[in-house]
């Protein structure tokens, strides 16, 4: 017994020393998405600045597949030493309910590290739709049940769930049309009538009049489009922000999590980085690991209700 206690003590001391010396080699940031998307762009911008804060390279590694599950499982099973991190978004908490046969538990097998930003979605319609406001859209949709097509970037994706939340809270019958590639060409052509999409991907179409914005999904109006009301102004309680952050495998030492959180918060607060993030259509935001953990738990519960209400099944 004495030998076991001594061995455990030595391991704890070594672990503590490693945490104090962290980082002393490159850090891998797994992005469970294909390159060139907004999530990838965010990770690369933040990763580059993190490297300067931490004094070690931050290597971005894209591991797309199965709606983000491939990259998430890799990190969940990685050593808890702070050298393998995961870029996360609402898709991860949605997957926790959407898939019943996961080999890992998203909340149990990871620890929250830091928030990066929130992402406003915007409800946009083809200009042919006879509605200039959310109430007008609801009146038209209720008068034409099952005749309005709602596009998304795929079954179970954040844009899909944001739209399903709208349907759940308003009772309108919109036909979901999932796309494997961008739905924007068909929306611009009028083949589908409405979508809930990231503000960054739609803002130029809105400004040029090619699409009509009816409302943003955030609780309040956004700085980039102050004239566009929040959907919650007419649908009481509606709010559906996207977000991006970073997590680590469970049992990652608190000292390492705190060091990473401090570095990422410094990056997000940097005026140049903040300006760049805003240009991507997101709102920079910092949180403590505890605050980020509460957000993840709340989002998991929220989207579980929507998945079950809509009867969404993965394909």
Q: Do domains 2-119+241-310 and 121-233 have the same CATH topology?
A: yes
Tell me the domain boundaries of the chain.
Answer: 2-119+241-310, 121-233
Tens-digit pLDDT profile for residues 235-264: 999 999 999 999 999 999 999 999 999 999
The pTM of this model reads 0.86
Better-scored residue on pLDDT, 252 or 200: 252
- pLDDT tops 80 at residue 191: yes
pLDDT at 7: 52
What DSSP line would sit under 261-279, residue for residue?
Answer: HHHHHHHHHSHHHHHHHHH
Sort strands 121-125 and 212-216 into parallel, antiparallel or unpaired.
antiparallel
- pLDDT tops 60 at residue 14: no
pLDDT at 3: 61
- pLDDT tops 70 at residue 290: yes
How would you classify residue 36: left for phi > 0, otherwise alpha for psi between -120 and 50, otherwise beta?
A: left
**Quick check: 193 and 148 in contact, CB under 8 A?**
yes
Q: Once rounded to an integer, what is the mean pLDDT over residues 101-125?
A: 91
Supply the mean pLDDT for the chain. 91
The domain defined by 121-233 folds into D-Maltodextrin-Binding Protein; domain 2 (3.40.190)
Select from 315, 313, 311 the least CA-distant residue to 167. Answer: 311
- Please state, in angstroms and rounded to a whole number, the distance separating the CA atoms of residues 143 and 129: 13
Burial, 255: exposed, middle or buried (Cβ in 10 Å; 0-12, 13-18, 19+)?
Answer: middle
**Quick check: 212 and 132 in contact, CB under 8 A?**
yes
**Quick check: 142 and 174 in contact, CB under 8 A?**
no
Q: Which segment, 10-19, 61-70, 273-282, 284-293, is predicted with the most confidence on average?
A: 284-293
CATH number listed for the domain at residues 2-119+241-310: 3.40.190.150
Whose tokens are 């844009």? That residue is 159
């Amino acid at each position: 017994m004495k030998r076991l206690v001594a061995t455990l003590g030595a391991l704890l001391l070594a672990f503590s020393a490693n945490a104090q010396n962290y980082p002393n080699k490159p850090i891998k940031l797994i992005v469970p998405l294909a390159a060139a998307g907004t999530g990838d762009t965010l990770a690369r911008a933040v990763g580059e600045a993190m490297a300067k804060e931490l004094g070690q390279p931050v290597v971005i590694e894209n591991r797309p597949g199965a709606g983000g599950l491939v990259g998430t499982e890799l990190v969940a099973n990685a050593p808890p030493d702070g050298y393998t991190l995961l870029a996360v978004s609402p898709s991860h908490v949605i997957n926790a309910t959407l898939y019943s046969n996961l080999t890992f538990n998203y909340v149990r097998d990871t620890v929250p590290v830091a928030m990066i930003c929130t992402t406003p979605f915007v409800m946009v319609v083809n200009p042919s739709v006879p509605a200039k406001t959310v109430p007008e859209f609801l009146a038209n949709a209720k008068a034409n049940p099952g005749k309005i097509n709602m596009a998304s970037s795929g079954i179970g994706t954040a844009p899909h769930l944001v739209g399903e939340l709208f349907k759940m809270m308003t009772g309108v019958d919109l036909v979901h049309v999932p796309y494997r590639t961008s739905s924007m060409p068909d929306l611009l052509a009028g083949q589908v009538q409405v979508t809930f999409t990231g503000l960054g991907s739609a803002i130029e179409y809105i400004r040029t009049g090619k699409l009509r914005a009816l409302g943003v999904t955030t609780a309040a109006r956004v700085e980039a489009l102050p004239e566009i009301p929040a959907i919650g102004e007419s649908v009481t309680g509606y709010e559906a922000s996207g977000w991006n952050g970073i997590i680590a495998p469970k049992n990652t030492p608190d000292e390492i999590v705190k060091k990473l959180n401090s570095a990422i918060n410094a990056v997000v607060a940097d005026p140049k980085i903040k300006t760049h993030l805003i240009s991507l259509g997101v709102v920079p935001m910092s949180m403590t690991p505890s605050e980020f953990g509460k957000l993840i738990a709340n989002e998991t519960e929220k989207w579980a209700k929507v998945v079950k209400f809509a009867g969404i099944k993965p394909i």
